[in-house]
Amino acid sequence: MNISELTELCKRLDCNIKEECLLSEYITFKFGGACRALIDINSAEAASELLKYIKKNNMKYAVLGKGSNVLVKDEGFDGIILHFGNDFADIRTENLTIKAQAGAMLSAVCKKAQESGLSGMENLFGIPGTVGGALYMNAGAYGSEMRDVVKSAEYIDENGNIRTIFADDMNLSYRHSIFAERKCIITSVEIELKKGEAGEIKSAMHECMQKRVSKQPLEYPSAGSTFKRPEGSYASLLIEQCGLKGFAVGDAQVSEKHSGFVINKGSASCSDVLELCENVRNIVSRKTGYILELEPVVLE
C-alpha cells in the first residue's frame, strides 16, 4: 500500500489524511484499533477520485460517517477509511426541499427543517449518525423512516462515477437500500417535506427526544439498536423474555434500561461486544426459535 502516493493525492484534493488513525475516536461505541489511514472527504469529486485510485491499486477501504452503526475490531482495520464528517456537511433549503451533504448529522438536518417550518422529519430527530448513513440503512424510528422523506440522492457507483438516483429506484425497505446492496457511496441527499408551523414541529421533536431519553440508555456508548427486528417479533422483547437484561461480557452489557441495546459500561472491547452478541443470539435461538441478526456493520 503506497501511503505516500495517496498522501500526495489527498494534498492535491485538499483532503486531510491521518495515518494510523485510532478509530475509537470515530465510532459511538468508543473502542477499536487503528486504520492504515483516514481521509476527511470534502467533496463528491474528491471522493470519486479517491475511490478510483483506491480501486485501481487494490486497496482495502471502508466508508465512515459518525460511526453510530459500526463496530471496529480491537486489532483495527488494515485499510483506508473515507470519512464523511464536518468537512462535507453543508445543509441547504429551497422551498419544500432540503439538500444535505452526506456528512451532515441527521439531527442537524432535522433542526434545519424545523427552523425552516418544514414538517416530516420530527420522528427522525435524535437518531444518531449522518444523513448519508441514515439513507444507506434506511434508518427510522417511531413509525417514520428515511424512505418517507427522501426525494433523490447523489452517489458514487462501484466504478467511482458520480450518479443521481430517485427514491423509487432506491429499493428502500427495513434497514436496507440499493446503496447497501451495491456498496455505493452516498454523497448528498435531497429531502422533500411539507409546510408546517415551526413551533409545533419543535414541540414534536422535543417529545420524540424525551421518549428516547426516558427509554434508551443514551448515557452510555453504544451503536443504538444492536439487533434487527425479526419478522413477527421484536429483538428487545425476545431478549427480555430470555432473561438477558443486564447480561454482560466484560464491560459490554445488555442494557438494563432497554434490552435492545448493548452498551459499553466503560472499557468494553469489540471482542467483548461480539462475544456478548453471539451468546445472546444463541440463547434467543435456543429458547424462542428466532434468529437475531446484528444491525451494526463490523469492519473486516
> In 3D, which of 100, 138, 137, 106 has the Cα closest to residue 121?
106
| List of residues 6+ apart from 16 with CB closer than 8 A | 10, 39, 40, 87
- Based on the residue annotation, tell me whether 177 is a catalytic residue of this protein: no
Of 192, 240, 275, 295, the catalytic one is: 295
- Based on the residue annotation, tell me whether 225 is a catalytic residue of this protein: yes
> In 3D, which of 190, 38, 202, 184 has the Cα closest to residue 110?
202
Of 154, 175, 188, 259, the catalytic one is: 175
> In 3D, which of 234, 157, 160, 150 has the Cα closest to residue 189?
150
- Helix (H) / strand (E) element for 277: namely helix 270-288
Of 225, 236, 259, 269, the catalytic one is: 225
- Based on the residue annotation, tell me whether 197 is a catalytic residue of this protein: no
Are 119 and 113 contacting, i.e. CB atoms less than 8 angstroms apart?
yes
Are 194 and 121 contacting, i.e. CB atoms less than 8 angstroms apart?
no
Are 268 and 24 contacting, i.e. CB atoms less than 8 angstroms apart?
no
Give the active site residues.
175, 225, 295
